[in-house]
Structure 1
Amino acid sequence: MERIAAWLHEKNPGLDGPIETDEDLIEARLIDSMDFLEFVDLLEDISGTGIDLQEVTIDDFRTLDRVRQRFLSTSGAAAGGAPARD
């Protein structure tokens, strides 16, 4: 999750402090439409598997908790790819 947090801080230089795992990344405008595909690429790189955008919803990217559960956990990876590396 450190790489994700670092990426979010890089994209949001005015962001101070840690990002809460239940913070809505989209509502807080930490991820916008211009950065979304880059965010997906980052998650694919970390997880070691592709993300089929036809099989996910925006809610899968809404919070760090949901990202971890959907793309970076063994159970989430089983539903959509390989186990995570962070």
Structure 2
Amino acid sequence: MDPITAWLHEKNPDLDGPIGADEDLIDGRLINSMDFLEFVDLLEDLTGDSIDLQDVTIDDFRTVNRVRERFLTPGA
């Protein structure tokens, strides 16, 4: 999860401390609408798979844990 949390810290330079695995990234404004497609690109680079935005919901990106479960867990 280091590349994801590093990206989140890069996009939120005023953020102090670690990002909780269940912290709401959307409501907490750690991912905003301007950065969302870049975040999807990051996930695609990490997984080597394309993400069809018609097959996902916003909740798939809501927390670091959910991102891990949905995109980074083999067989998910």
TM (norm. structure 1) is 0.87
In structure 2, distance between residues paired with 1:7 and 1:28: 15
Matched to 2:75, the amino acid is S
Q: In the alignment, which residue of structure 2 is the partner of 1:68?
A: 68
TM (norm. structure 2) is 0.98
Q: In the alignment, which residue of structure 1 is the partner of 2:20?
A: 20
Q: Quick one: percent identity of the two aligned structures?
A: 72
Matches within 5 A, 1:28-47: 28-47=28-47
SS in 2 for 1:74: coil
SS in 2 for 1:21: coil
In structure 2, distance between residues paired with 1:5 and 1:63: 11
Per-residue CA deviation, residues 27-86 of structure 1 (Å, 9 max, x unaligned), is 00000000000000000000110000000000000000000000000131xxxxxxxxxx
Q: In the alignment, which residue of structure 1 is the partner of 2:57?
A: 57
Higher RCO (C-alpha 8 Å, min separation 6): 2
Measured on the aligned residues, the alpha-carbon RMSD in Å equals 0.5
Which stretches of structure 1, 4 residues or longer, exceed 3 Å deviation after superposition?
A: none
Matched to 1:72, the amino acid is L
Give the gaps of 5 or more residues in structure 1: 77-86
Task: Answer yes or no: is the 8 Å Cα contact 1:21–1:65 preserved in 2.
Answer: yes
Q: How many residues align?
A: 76
